[in-house]
């Protein structure tokens, strides 16, 4: 773990308690193999599912997204994948910044949440039950073959005359992950209470580990500039990848350090 880099040598398997933009400014070009990141959206976020309200997230007055998109493109290796969490009302701006930075934008993924959000106009808007992710490529990289999801048809069945035999495991995933076969994007409030880990936008480690397995190889370096409670780092460790990132809030940074130590 690191407090501050202090020089331009960036190691891996580190979370720095610092501003992400300072960290990336010290990173060499094409340094990381995959970006999986969950930035603040530039709004004051309050979650109403418990009586104890979360503090407003650091950075929620907004980050310089244009610069962040540009730096993300620069530090990513060629022929690599990047995932940026977003939200419907920020999507047009985030999309445009990422496109202008040079990314090829391939999908907007929509992933079911583990709990339905209790913010906004409770009587005049639909409940937000999904996370949105902009999936990008720098250059071109094909998805890994994984054993995450089985095809429903039995392996070896011919499902169409003249077509090749169906494989046991899915090689093409949907952009929308809903239903019991997929992990949820977030935990529910019961999980947070049971684990004593509170963060208004914490993500499910299993779900993150699926994206990592689809888009990177063991040993590769996964970057998340907004680590929160360290979920991306845990997912990287679980899948034998390396991790690197920042978290500006000391309390969340310490939670991340604790979670990593417990896992190791």
Ligand X SMILES: C[S@@+](CC[C@H](N)C(=O)[O-])C[C@H]1O[C@@H](n2cnc3c(N)ncnc32)[C@H](O)[C@@H]1O
Site residues for ligand X per CB under 6 A: 19-21, 38, 40, 57-59, 63, 199, 201-203, 225-226, 228-229, 231, 246-249, 252
Specify the residue, 48 or 150, whose C-beta has the smaller distance to ligand X: 48
Specify the residue, 213 or 249, whose C-beta has the smaller distance to ligand X: 249
Specify the residue, 150 or 195, whose C-beta has the smaller distance to ligand X: 195
Specify the residue, 38 or 220, whose C-beta has the smaller distance to ligand X: 38
Q: How far is the CB of 16 from ligand X (least distance, A)?
A: 9
Contacts of 81 (CB under 8 A, 6+ apart): 34, 35, 135, 136, 137, 141, 215, 216
Specify the residue, 57 or 97, whose C-beta has the smaller distance to ligand X: 57
User: Which residue is at the shortest CB distance from ligand X?
Assistant: 59
Specify the residue, 78 or 251, whose C-beta has the smaller distance to ligand X: 251
Q: How far is the CB of 82 from ligand X (least distance, A)?
A: 15
Q: How far is the CB of 257 from ligand X (least distance, A)?
A: 13
DSSP per position, 37-100: E----SS-----SSSSPPPPPTTTT---HHHHHHHHHHHEEEEEEEEEEE-TTTHHHHHHHHHH
Q: How far is the CB of 92 from ligand X (least distance, A)?
A: 19
Q: How far is the CB of 50 from ligand X (least distance, A)?
A: 16
Q: How far is the CB of 101 from ligand X (least distance, A)?
A: 18
């Amino acid at each position: 773990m690191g407090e501050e880099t202090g020089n331009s040598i960036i190691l891996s398997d580190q979370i720095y308690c610092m501003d992400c933009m300072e960290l990336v400014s010290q990173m060499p070009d094409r340094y990381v193999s995959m970006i999986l990141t969950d930035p603040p959206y530039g709004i004051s976020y309050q979650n109403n599912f418990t009586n104890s309200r979360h503090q407003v997230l650091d950075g929620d007055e907004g980050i310089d997204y244009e610069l962040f998109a540009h730096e993300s493109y620069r530090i990513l290796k060629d022929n690599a994948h990047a995932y940026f969490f977003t939200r419907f009302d920020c999507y047009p701006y985030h999309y445009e910044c990422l496109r202008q930075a040079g990314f090829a934008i391939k999908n907007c993924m929509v992933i079911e949440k583990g709990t339905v959000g209790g913010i906004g106009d409770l009587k005049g808007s639909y409940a937000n039950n999904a996370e949105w992710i902009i999936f990008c490529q720098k250059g071109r990289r094909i998805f890994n073959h994984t054993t995450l999801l089985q095809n429903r048809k039995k392996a070896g069945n011919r499902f169409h005359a003249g077509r090749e035999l169906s494989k046991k495991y899915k090689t093409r995933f949907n952009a929308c992950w809903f239903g019991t076969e997929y992990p949820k994007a977030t935990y529910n409030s019961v999980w947070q209470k049971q684990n004593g880990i509170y963060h208004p936008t914490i993500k499910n480690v299993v779900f993150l580990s699926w994206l990592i397995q689809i888009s990177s190889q063991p040993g590769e370096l996964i970057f998340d500039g907004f680590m929160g409670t360290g979920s991306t780092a845990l997912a990287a460790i679980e899948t034998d990848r390396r991790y690197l990132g920042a978290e500006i809030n000391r309390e969340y940074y310490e939670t991340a350090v604790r979670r990593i130590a417990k896992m190791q």
